[in-house]
Structure 1
Amino acid sequence: MTVTPFPGADLQATPVQVFDIEKVLASIDSMAAQRPVAAQIVSVANSDDTDARALSRILASDVALASRVMKLANSAYFGMRGRVTSLQFAVTVVGFTTVRTMATVALTNLDDESRLPEDFWDVTTSLALGASTLAPRFGERPQDALCLGLLAQLGAALLHHNDPDGYEAIIAAEPAYRGRRAAESRRYGINSLRLTSVALEQWGFPAALTHPLKEIDDLQSMDGALLRAAFEVAARLTTEDYEEVPIVRLTGGRLREDDLVPVLDQVRADAAELRRAMLGEAPESDDPEENPGEWTF
């Protein structure tokens, strides 16, 4: 499917790119040859025939990815500091959807910061932790919300990779995410969150992770409210001179400003550790609880 420009786009101010979604997704699929273990995990993690032992056997074939799963399982987020020394136990702790999410990050080169917008992982970790922390207020599972936040910016990474100069110009002109999505639509005929949903649907991710991406800009839809709140949290923490949007408006009254104070504090506290786990970075300290070292199958 080749996406054509929206009617009424300002072609002079914002040059419109013809954006071929199939070509972009095909280029991602071609990466599977370079990361076969990650590709296999994305494929089998939701199968009824896959259990923690089988998934951990596959995961063990990619030492870097397995180490990231171990780091995450031993992070403060899961409350298991240094107690997870088995890869099979790590898979059980973080859950199949999280392992599949981490494999998707690896498969799509989201762990290569040289190919991403400058603040990509600062925003992504804030999004993921904000969504996860707020999830119970919206009747959602924290781990599912964590995965939603980790994957939400996949489309932005794809747009940036295919049009780095144009996308950097959008970021510079539109620091607010809603305005940025409008600019993306004008330039590419699709915004980054919709592109994320297309990719995740192609790879068989459940509607719980794709539907909110489509509903985020409909303020009347509660299906997008959690993700709207998470983006507001991320913006307040990562965007300089950000003009705050009242959280009550974004969430249909589900949240008030006082509700965000502990959430912002929690995200600040945990963001660096989540980033290290997702990117496989070394811990800042030599504390064995932060760096479990050797692990077994």
Structure 2
Amino acid sequence: MTTATVPAPLDVQRILAGIDTMATQKAVAAQIVARASADDTSARELAAILAGDLALAGRVTKLANSAYFGMSGRVGSLQFAIAVVGFMTVRTMATVALTDLDDESRLPEDFWPTSTHLAQAATLLAPRFGERPPDALCLGMLAQLGSALLHHNDPEGYAQLVADEPDLPSRRLAEERRYGIHALRLTAVALEHWGFPPRMVAALHSLDDLTAPDGALLRVAFEVAARLSRRPHVPVPVGRLCGGLLTEDALDLVVERVRAEAEELRMAMLS
């Protein structure tokens, strides 16, 4: 089945402006996105802001107390929770709230299974690629933001596109044809717009360039997610994706850990 085209490309600036407008309705999340990256922000200040949104504060505390961070119920205060998960993770969770990624009814069907697989895989693989696991967690968690934004702006059309193109590289080509931009590029534009670290943006821009080391971690994380998906997938040799930094045996161990642990991460992020 061929996905229908639309007469004009997506207005990216309109989408970003729409999210900025939403920020006025989610003032706490917007404040956190802005303040969490400032050099002079303390955990105490961030906790004071976060306390204004009980649902978001509860998610941060639950994540800090989860087995994922090894604390298992020992985190009693919001300030301590922020110290445990890190400012970047709090900022990522605020971005999830700000862009309605916590409303699964407004997302592509495979959004959160894939996102948690990406986040868990990136976290486990981070040391192999010289990255910090908390930063890798955030990169994996937000990598699909662009697909959510496409779905928000064209629910029926994008749902059909996802159904027609289960293979992610093919889906990116279909997104380019329909919208003039693919989802990963839209994620990069959005994260750059909000001042996320250039390294995160570079990883998204470099994903399809197998010679670019910036994108290697995310490429391998996407391969892990694809191998765990219910959709048909022809495995790509991992050495090709990362310049030989990882073997198939090592990747198999990561796949099994992600299979066992990703659902707990999803529940901690969303419930």
TM range (shorter): over 0.9
8 Å Cα contact 1:19/1:188 also seen in 2: yes
Q: What is the alpha-carbon distance in structure 2 between the residues aligned to residue 56 and residue 13 of structure 1? A: 47
Contact 2:3 2:160 (8 Å CA) reproduced? no
Q: Which structure's residues are more often helix, by fraction?
A: 2
Greater relative contact order (CA < 8 Å, ≥ 6 in sequence): 1
Q: Does 1:206 align with 2:197?
A: yes
Find 2:52's aligned residue among 44, 58, 61. Answer: 61
Give the fraction of aligned pairs with identical amino acids, expressed as a percent: 64
Larger CA deviation: 236-245 vs 226-235: 236-245
- Superposed counterparts of 1:124-163, under 5 Å: 124-163=115-154
Name 1:273's counterpart in structure 2: 264
- Indicate yes or no: 2:71 matched with 1:91: no
Partner Cα separation in structure 2 for residue 205 and residue 84 of structure 1: 27
TM-score for both structures, normalised by structure 1: 0.88
The residue aligned with 1:168 is 159
Residues 209-288 of structure 1 mapped to structure 2, 5 A cutoff: 209-280=200-271
Residue type of the alignment partner of 1:80 = M
2:109, 2:8 → 1: CA distance?
22
Letter in 2 for 1:182: L
In 2, distance between residues paired with 1:181 and 1:69?
32
- Tell me the CA shift for residue 72 of structure 1: 0.7
- 1:175·1:239 contact (CA, 8 Å) conserved in 2? no
| Post-superposition offset of 1:241 | 2.6
Question: For the residues of structure 2 that align with 1:109 and 1:97, how far apart are their CA atoms?
Answer: 18
- Give the unaligned 5+ runs of structure 2: none
CA distance in 2, matches of 1:105, 1:47: 19
Q: CA RMSD in A?
A: 1.4
Specify the structure having the higher radius of gyration (Cα): 1
Cα distance in 1 between the residues matched to 2:143 and 2:66: 22
- In the alignment, is the contact (CA less than 8 A) between 1:73 and 1:84 conserved in 2? yes
Instruction: Say if 1:132 and 1:142, in contact at 8 Å, map to a contact too.
Output: yes
TM-score by length of 2: 0.96
Question: What residue identity is the alignment partner of 2:61?
Answer: M
Letter in 2 for 1:69: V
* Equivalent residues, number: 270
